[in-house]
Structure 1
């Protein structure tokens, strides 16, 4: 017999041991004990017992459920909730197609190391393996993309499983976990025994070790001896909330800082030591710096291919310090001269503390002067105010009008322009980096807005990407979430078109989105969301300002130049020094000049690597 209401259990005292309740109500109590106050999800037959218990929890006032319009949207919203807060995100989905619709979002979280607990309904235990209606083996399907997973076959295990799930998701290198609950497990009554957070350690679990102080000391010695050091900061620094230590370290030793796409916001991007993003669409000065540095200090970064370009030309003359929580990343793509394994926040704090024992002797003045010169000669393009609106103008306007916003993005050219031109604070940048998931931006924005109701949230979207989860306009409307969705609309799959232009002799196969493109302004209004269309430059700032001032969800469709490419760009298989699409080549203007022995290009005598082919000079 299913209870119609959940027995109240005193979370503080633990009273309620032996309370008779259903598995579904036990699950909700376990989630409450782990601090869950928000769940994103979509109901269905196999998970209905859990939704019935969820209804009771909402009526008691401790839980908010956000009904998304597609399960993938729920995973992205829970993902962004976690990124914006540092807490574990939670989402629900039913069995069969409901569960498989979660897969892309789970993989997105796994690639970007985001803590998330995904709970799915499953067919009854007796039906498992019979090809029952809406049965899929979501446990097996997701094995490669989760940190751990469970199929709960006994309701008495629920409390322990939930405790283990939250522990695993948030500890070490964070990531998603999955709990699959058969329908009859949710319905079955049993004598519930609560499990408090942190009291159950999963079998075989290894706690993150404290940083090795000897390795920290070795790292400090290399930093003090370097003439051309560079901090290379990834998403691990954001996950560890290491921004304060990072700032102290950079300023104390005058270390320039470049970040990955995941690392944006870990260091103040308005700071004079900031170089912006490096890699395929990184700034020219960040890519020149990483090519020319003599010490690379990697902080929570994994030497991803979009960052390194041709791996054997990445920081080719540099010694490497690697601060990392995941031992699997140490030496995976690049050997470290000094590896500091452990929580990145704790490791950097130990480094700062050790550094305070002496007076820093900075050796980077000439290095910083060279980087300053690169910044002046190689700025990001500021397009001329003529003709159609340039995509870069849209991002510059957003930066001016919403400098304090949490920004989410979809994936494509607009994502790279946003990474180049926007300047974000800690946990103020949310983007699908590792998996590159189109359709991520808008559901991520609604998750961030739910997590941070007092913050402004802006989604930078592409006209192709946004269509992949356009249904979440309905969620924005239902909950009146004041998200601002800004579409950089060139009527193409923009990055696909750019690659086809650059590498496939302008054969634009299946990338033109003009025919069949909806009127986004009218589409938004049909959902009950405010819609704005901007076509003329004279309307850009005023239209964006009005949209940003609205207390309601608003979609802004900005039509931009169709053929604009995102530069700089490191072609695949090339060195980071081999960028194309730069406005000028400053090295060519420097005297005295010399020819590169590998390719013959004229370059400056004070540069150590050829800007054309990346060869050592």
Structure 2
């Protein structure tokens, strides 16, 4: 256990406006942007942001709907590792945030949510959009989807409650926190007692691990002949150490759907995605006469456990996680290792190096040139090469994979877009150790030797998808948040026409902000997952149809360039270099083959009650 951070002594209190205090705290944390929709009850906070913006500080990004603001804050947090901040006025402004906040809660995204209230003296008098306990109780609503939730009822509570909220958002289990602040308190003077340096120390992530359990795990590894790894979505900051561990032990690894973007899909030890829309090669790797299965940083819920597959949830399992709520899903495991995942694997690697050096066998990387590469098994691989019109969604994923640079961030929306991306989409990044260079060239073995102490800031990787609570339209707003947090990297939002009809107006935020986001619309004039789910289940074919819409023309009406893509050859007509170098978004209206069934059998298995 590392020693606790020393919190510097605070300077003498200074008096500032309550809204200015909030803004100064966010500036101290390096927050650049606040996403929201303004309104009367939250006006003082926007005034304080205007002052900050003039001195080069944070500034507001105006969403078109409060749910979009929450999705943007989610994407910003995933990309930057900072706290995402979204704000809304009282009443319906607050309730519109709830879907996005619930999404962040279930996906453990750190977020500060601030909503307004009418002034305290008018509580209970029927004030417009009152949402305290005497009105439509939004504080009560947020209590079900936040890690910390409170009404600030006196100005002297503000600093303490703000600090408590930020601490809860920043430390495992991460998630959104909510402050509801009355208008008169937001305008009031308040004493600031804590310095920015003190705040940063309080929010520092602990490096706590159960040392006894790590030693026990090391002993189990010593006695094991063959190990397989399941890499989960919470492994972002630890992925370099985990990959190094897999290479040292020559262990095959698979990922959960939400972790595919953390790894290089060309690594010779990678066997594919396990779980929803996954690959048979991943299932085979876990059943390949292994002694231990290490499940790392995953909830082992429906989509990440293969619908609670007995090939994973058995006595071979060792579950490694920082969160008790995840560990509670695997009571049958041989062992639980609780602690910060990066620290656990740094300790394991230290022990392995020490042991090998004591035996006079200093470690040298595996020569992957002579390692057999068992390719990831794709479903219907012939369709990724199809030249048919309308374009096969399998072929579409291949076209996106090869035409976008390695720095691209892909976000796949709820529905068929998620299934197609998880199964078929790849990253062009082939620069890390253990790769099979597709065009020849040597392997950079030295690149991974300096694993120790490396800190990964890209916690979500090149592909971001949702698990569990997965609202349609999330990727549309989140893509804007990602691009705002990392404006020098291309961002691609893969979404369906159903999701776009719900939330497509947020594309105008990308236009107003000059963000290079490519919105890829899978246009099949249907709620695709509903349609295919009904067919697979033998249910009535009803209520899935959508109107035929030219989304490229819709984009043009919003000042956004749009293109219709019907065949693979249509991609050759695009000037991708111009699209990627021009500020502002582009929309691709992709007319996909509506009869292609996405890899969703695992979901059907659950719905049919056969698990």
| TM class, shorter-length | 0.7 to 0.9
Cα offset for 1:170? Answer: 1.1
Alignment of 1:537 onto 2:540 = no
Q: Name 2:545's counterpart in structure 1.
A: 512
- Give the SS at the match of 1:98: helix
Q: Is the 8 A contact 2:384 2:392 kept in 1?
A: no
The structure 2 residue matched to 1:345, chosen from 342, 353, 357, is: 342
- Give the SS at the match of 1:455: coil
Flag the 1:503–1:91 CA change in 2: closer, same or farther, 3 A.
same
The structure 1 residue matched to 2:481, chosen from 447, 466, 472, is: 447
Alignment of 1:102 onto 2:97 = yes
Which consecutive unaligned segments of at least 5 residues does structure 1 have?
A: 1-11, 579-612
Q: Name 2:53's counterpart in structure 1.
A: 58
Q: Name 2:85's counterpart in structure 1.
A: 90
The structure 1 residue matched to 2:38, chosen from 35, 40, 43, is: 43
Distance 1:113 1:249 in 2: 26
Cα offset for 1:58? Answer: 1.4
Distance 1:544 1:419 in 2: 26
Alignment of 1:461 onto 2:495 = yes
Flag the 1:380–1:142 CA change in 2: closer, same or farther, 3 A.
farther
Q: Name 1:235's counterpart in structure 2.
A: 233
Flag the 1:574–1:99 CA change in 2: closer, same or farther, 3 A.
closer
Between stretches 58-67 and 123-132, larger displacement belongs to: 123-132
Q: TM-score, normalised by structure 2?
A: 0.84
Structure with the bigger RCO (C-alpha within 8 Å, sep 6+) is 2
Alignment of 1:420 onto 2:423 = yes
Q: Is the 8 A contact 1:283 1:380 kept in 2?
A: no
- Give the SS at the match of 1:540: helix
Distance 2:103 2:537 in 1: 27
Flag the 1:526–1:350 CA change in 2: closer, same or farther, 3 A.
same
Flag the 1:341–1:561 CA change in 2: closer, same or farther, 3 A.
same
Alignment of 1:313 onto 2:271 = no
Alignment of 1:336 onto 2:369 = no
Flag the 1:327–1:97 CA change in 2: closer, same or farther, 3 A.
same
Q: Is the 8 A contact 2:29 2:200 kept in 1?
A: no
Which consecutive unaligned segments of at least 5 residues does structure 2 have?
A: 1-7, 132-136, 430-457
Cα offset for 1:133? Answer: 1.4
Q: TM-score, normalised by structure 1?
A: 0.83
Distance 1:570 1:133 in 2: 47
Distance 1:551 1:266 in 2: 27
Distance 1:407 1:300 in 2: 21
Cα offset for 1:510? Answer: 0.7
Flag the 1:260–1:376 CA change in 2: closer, same or farther, 3 A.
closer
Q: Name 1:430's counterpart in structure 2.
A: 464
Q: Is the 8 A contact 1:409 1:431 kept in 2?
A: yes
Flag the 1:316–1:184 CA change in 2: closer, same or farther, 3 A.
closer
- Give the SS at the match of 1:322: strand
Between stretches 56-65 and 426-435, larger displacement belongs to: 426-435
Cα offset for 1:533? Answer: 0.9
Distance 1:522 1:512 in 2: 21
Q: Aligned-residue CA RMSD in angstroms? A: 3.1
Q: Name 1:407's counterpart in structure 2.
A: 410
Q: Name 2:521's counterpart in structure 1.
A: 487
Flag the 1:175–1:472 CA change in 2: closer, same or farther, 3 A.
same
The structure 2 residue matched to 1:498, chosen from 525, 532, 535, is: 532
Flag the 1:198–1:110 CA change in 2: closer, same or farther, 3 A.
farther
Distance 2:299 2:310 in 1: 16
Alignment of 1:132 onto 2:92 = no
Q: Name 1:553's counterpart in structure 2.
A: 585
Cα offset for 1:228? Answer: 4.2
Q: Name 2:444's counterpart in structure 1.
A: none
Distance 2:383 2:467 in 1: 23
Q: Name 2:252's counterpart in structure 1.
A: 256
Alignment of 1:226 onto 2:224 = yes
Q: Is the 8 A contact 1:163 1:198 kept in 2?
A: no
C-alpha offsets along residues 61-92 of structure 1, whole Å, 9 cap, x if unaligned? 21121111111111111111110111111111
Distance 1:377 1:473 in 2: 33
Cα offset for 1:192? Answer: 4.1
Cα offset for 1:467? Answer: 1.7
Q: Is the 8 A contact 2:104 2:111 kept in 1?
A: yes
Flag the 1:149–1:434 CA change in 2: closer, same or farther, 3 A.
same
- Give the SS at the match of 1:465: helix
- Give the SS at the match of 1:414: helix
Between stretches 217-226 and 451-460, larger displacement belongs to: 217-226
- Give the SS at the match of 1:113: coil
Flag the 1:494–1:187 CA change in 2: closer, same or farther, 3 A.
same
Flag the 1:520–1:567 CA change in 2: closer, same or farther, 3 A.
same
Distance 1:340 1:530 in 2: 51
- Give the SS at the match of 1:523: helix
Counting only pairs closer than 5 Å after superposition, residues 522-533 of structure 1 correspond to structure 2 as 522-533=553-564
Counting only pairs closer than 5 Å after superposition, residues 329-408 of structure 1 correspond to structure 2 as 329-359=326-356, 372=374, 375=377, 382-404=384-406, 405-408=408-411
- Give the SS at the match of 1:328: helix
C-alpha offsets along residues 332-364 of structure 1, whole Å, 9 cap, x if unaligned? 2442212111111111111111111234999x9
Distance 1:166 1:175 in 2: 10
4+ runs of 1 displaced by more than 6 Å?
A: 12-16, 368-371
Q: Is the 8 A contact 2:383 2:395 kept in 1?
A: no
Flag the 1:36–1:317 CA change in 2: closer, same or farther, 3 A.
closer
Q: Name 1:211's counterpart in structure 2.
A: 209
- Give the SS at the match of 1:470: helix
Cα offset for 1:493? Answer: 1.0
Flag the 1:228–1:381 CA change in 2: closer, same or farther, 3 A.
farther
Q: Name 1:6's counterpart in structure 2.
A: none
- Give the SS at the match of 1:356: helix
Distance 2:606 2:32 in 1: 47
Flag the 1:358–1:138 CA change in 2: closer, same or farther, 3 A.
same
The structure 1 residue matched to 2:75, chosen from 71, 74, 80, is: 80
Distance 1:378 1:289 in 2: 20
Distance 2:56 2:153 in 1: 30
Flag the 1:149–1:354 CA change in 2: closer, same or farther, 3 A.
same
C-alpha offsets along residues 505-546 of structure 1, whole Å, 9 cap, x if unaligned? 4x2211111x2x432111111111111111233212443735
Count of aligned positions: 556
Flag the 1:504–1:127 CA change in 2: closer, same or farther, 3 A.
farther
- Give the SS at the match of 1:308: coil
